[in-house]
Amino acid sequence: MKSSNNDKKKNIVSKNDQLKLILEILGDQNQQDTSFISDASAHNYVNTLKSDASKIQFKKEFPFTTPAVLDILEDMLQFNPHYRSNPVDLLKSKVFDSIRRPELEQPAPFQIKLDIDQTDAFDYEECKSTKYSMDQYKQIMINEI
């Protein structure tokens, strides 16, 4: 049976695909790691990137880094956002003790929501944005930064 052009298109992964690069560092993700993905086409896309890759060994990659900093790094780089520590907890690390100023620490008054994070802003089946051009994405990111 021949595969359709649409099937071929779904499996094309750019060498610059950011998700592919992330998974090369974090290794392949199991069902629990991807359980937060609610969009079926996005979930299928993540599955097309599986390569039997193992997570890099941070201690080996950064041999002169302290264990506390490596712990923060590994915590921030959890694929599933539900398993990441929040910034408040991360900032409680002893790594920041010498610069911490508790009197200045306060939670943001609102949650940041970007238009580009809307569920319908990207069509994973067609691998293209349904709302924004590349230039618009760049401008949105520049404005946020």
For residue 30, what are the CA distances in angstroms to 69, 87, 98?
Answer: 25, 25, 38
Radius of gyration for the alpha carbons in the chain, expressed in angstroms and rounded: 19
pTM of structure = 0.59
In a domain, 145, yes or no: yes
**pLDDT for residue 66:** 92
In a domain, 124, yes or no: yes
Interior CA angle at 109 toward 118 and 84, to 5°? Answer: 60
Structure tokens, 34:
């991807």
**pLDDT for residue 14:** 64
Note the residue count of the chain. 145
Higher pLDDT, 121 or 139: 139
The range of the structural domain enclosing residue 128 comes to 112-145
Are 72 and 62 in contact by the 8 Å Cβ rule? The answer is no
pLDDT band, very low/low/confident/very high, at 54 (cuts 50, 70, 90): confident
Neighbours of 21 (CB within 10 A): 13
Q: Which residues pair with 128 in a beta bridge?
A: 123
Provide the 3-class DSSP secondary structure of residue 134.
helix
Q: Average pLDDT of 16-29?
A: 83
Q: Is the pLDDT of residue 5 over 60?
A: no
pLDDT band, very low/low/confident/very high, at 16 (cuts 50, 70, 90): low
Residue ranges of alpha helices (H) inside 27-111 are: 40-48, 58-61, 67-76, 87-90
**pLDDT for residue 64:** 94
Q: Report pLDDT digits (tens) over 70-119.
A: 999 989 888 999 999 888 888 888 899 898 888 887 877 888 777 777 77
In a domain, 141, yes or no: yes
In a domain, 75, yes or no: no
In a domain, 8, yes or no: no
In a domain, 133, yes or no: yes
Neighbours of 47 (CB within 10 A): 12
